[in-house]
Structure 1
Amino acid sequence: MTDPTLPPPAEPATANRRQPGIIRRVVDFPLVLIVLGLVAIILAVMLVGMIVNGLLATSHPLGVLIANCAVAAAIPFVWRDFKRWVERVPHRDFSRSGAAMELGGGLMLGAGLFALAAGLVILVGDYQISGIRAPADTQWAELLGMAIMSGVLEETLFRALIFHQLERLAGSWFALAVTSLLFGLAHLTNDGATLSAAAALVVEAGVLLGAAYMLTGRLWLAIGIHTAWNFTQGWVFSIPVSGGEPPIGLFISRSTGPDWLSGGAFGLEASLVALGVSTVAGLTLLRLAVRRGRIVPFGWLPGSAQTKL
């Protein structure tokens, strides 16, 4: 028999916890957050680009560099607010903890991997260097700005947004497979792109950059690899970056071999040599991610359980 002098037993904490409404549950669904995130980032990039273009002479190389850096600098702030106000979860994507080491390591790794691939092609005689330009005579500003902006923007979209939400939906391996495929398909509209070039990007870039994000839970390593790879390819070796006209870089060079070795008009990243070098690096990072317990198992993790440690 209950003692009437004692206070009634406390109800479980979960009983008083307010359950999210239907709108909140819809917004929290990973595929909805992907759409909202894409809209937020693209609109922010367009707005910052319009403001910078109105203030600067972006036809000048330094103007191009400043404009691209301004867009890249705005993305972390937009992403922070999106996570805070829309997704309503903490995040570590642009955390300052470990940023210098991870970004620096990524820059060295990206430059080293591309230099290794280019060096192997030089050894077999497919890529020939006939001279070196003065840095002032190169497109260093345009190429640096493009590398920084594409590194920050694409890694935020493909890794922090799409990879993370697909990982919530169906686990790390599903997220890695889908984002790698999307990354390759996204470059099919580039000049000189072919199905084989897109397939090469799926494996070499999609897996490598996805593994870098899985390993650290932050974007700095992936951004460093992405930025340094593009800049080394375009500025140092004067090789088209994912298609287009050959840039005016440091080396005066030309390719004489078959497309499977040189990458053809798309650039060296579409070659079997770059594919092999990047795949080895990507699998190495994946192995480290597995050892550190960074793999999220299959299954949707709703609510706060989605936060990556």
Structure 2
Amino acid sequence: MRLPVPVSARRGLRRVAWPVWNRTQNRLRAPIRALLPLVVTLVALAAIQTTVRTRFDHPVVELLELGGFVVVLAVGTLGSARFLDRRSLAGYGLGVDREWARQAAVGAAVATASNAFAFAAVLLAGWASVAGFAETPGILPFLPALAITFCLVTVAATWEEVVFRGIILTNLVEGTDGYLPRWVAVGLSLTLTVVVFAFLHGGKVTAVSQYGYYLLAGVLLGGLYVLTGDLALSIGFHVAYNFTMSVVFGLGVSQQTPELLVLTVTGPTRWVGEEGLIHVVAVVLAGIALLAYVRWRDGRLAVAETIGTWCGRC
């Protein structure tokens, strides 16, 4: 037989739970929904890398990392959508269909053109020269290494887009909208995600000024999500940009990947490094091109109505 809970006790429990639990929506509050998937998946990814890299050698390590990353991405995305956010995957900008794939292809094409511009710029400036073709740093032949690298890049870039834009940005807008004017809520949420995104890339930064490159990339990727309401352009651009920079054009100087075009880089790091000014200019041009495309496609540039809108699993 259940004993009745005194009214005063129920009120006390509600006060204690209020900072973390939204009784109206019957789910965790927005800041927790935003940050928990990031923390949990980061810990899981770090644990996988540490375990695999200390126990296995190439090429087994890459295959195990890829499998682990896929599991983390799938479980993190589905678990967050179902149990934390209680929304559909489309609410994260993942309403994948034929049109979504076409938009992703547009993003990929712009990213490839951006890196082609950077490649041409460093060659014309005399800061790099082609030293070889189709080389790989490991023991795998070029094509298998290329395929594994593409899969790893795809999973990593997709994880970043889903977590930073689909989950964090969405929930921050949702949590602040209603307390602030909508444009302020979107702008503040975008700024916070951009700062966190840049901070978590700090391991690749050797000078404070290089954070500007990652801040710019965060604005571009987050802005595309805010304007379109889906992650197609962002994921397509992010995957293709990372892949073509290193694997196709040999510009990823800090990464050990197979390279179709192998470069000997002699120019100043300020200009030709991964966070150098040539890449900054290339990203700016890519951003202008993508904004023009969205303006042409939609007839306007405006915050998507679906950003920060929750309707359960509709």
TM-score by length of structure 2 reads 0.72
Aligned 8 A contact 1:76 1:94 in 2: no
For residues 58-73 of structure 1, the aligned pairs below 5 Å read 59-61=57-59, 64-65=62-63, 67-68=65-66, 71-72=69-70
Q: Which runs of 5+ in 2 are unaligned?
A: 1-13, 177-183
Aligned 8 A contact 1:65 1:146 in 2: no
Aligned to 2:127: 126
For residues 201-280 of structure 1, the aligned pairs below 5 Å read 201-203=214-216, 205-240=217-252, 244-245=254-255, 247-263=257-273, 267=274, 270-280=275-285
Aligned to 1:87: 85
CA offset at residue 151 of structure 1?
0.6
Aligned to 1:99: 100
CA offset at residue 159 of structure 1?
0.8
Report the CA distance shift for 1:82/1:134 in structure 2 as closer, same or farther (over 3 A).
closer
1:29-50 deviation digits (Å, cap 9, x = unpaired)? 3212123222443466578x59
Aligned to 2:10: none
Aligned partner (choices 303, 310, 313) of residue 294 of structure 1:
303
1:138-178 deviation digits (Å, cap 9, x = unpaired)? 74245323311211111112111222122222522222222
Report the CA distance shift for 1:180/1:235 in structure 2 as closer, same or farther (over 3 A).
same
Aligned residues: 273
Q: Does 1:174 align with 2:188?
A: yes
Aligned to 2:151: 145
Aligned 8 A contact 2:21 2:28 in 1: yes
RMSD: 3.6
Report the CA distance shift for 1:29/1:283 in structure 2 as closer, same or farther (over 3 A).
farther
- The alignment partner of 1:171 has SS state of helix
Aligned partner (choices 203, 209, 228) of residue 196 of structure 1:
209
**Letter of the structure 2 residue corresponding to residue 175 of structure 1:** S
Report the CA distance shift for 1:201/1:137 in structure 2 as closer, same or farther (over 3 A).
same
**Letter of the structure 1 residue corresponding to residue 260 of structure 2:** L
Measure, in 1, the Cα distance between the counterparts of 2:120 and 2:154: 24
**Higher-RCO chain (CA-CA 8 Å, sequence separation at least 6):** 2
CA offset at residue 256 of structure 1?
1.3
CA offset at residue 189 of structure 1?
1.8
Aligned 8 A contact 2:194 2:218 in 1: yes
**Letter of the structure 1 residue corresponding to residue 259 of structure 2:** G
Aligned to 2:179: none
- The alignment partner of 2:251 has SS state of coil
TM-score by length of structure 1 reads 0.73
1:61-101 deviation digits (Å, cap 9, x = unpaired)? 37624642562365245323322222223341221233321
For residues 49-64 of structure 1, the aligned pairs below 5 Å read 49=48, 59-61=57-59, 64=62
Report the CA distance shift for 1:155/1:69 in structure 2 as closer, same or farther (over 3 A).
farther
Aligned 8 A contact 1:65 1:144 in 2: no
CA offset at residue 257 of structure 1?
1.4
Structure with max Cα Rg: 1
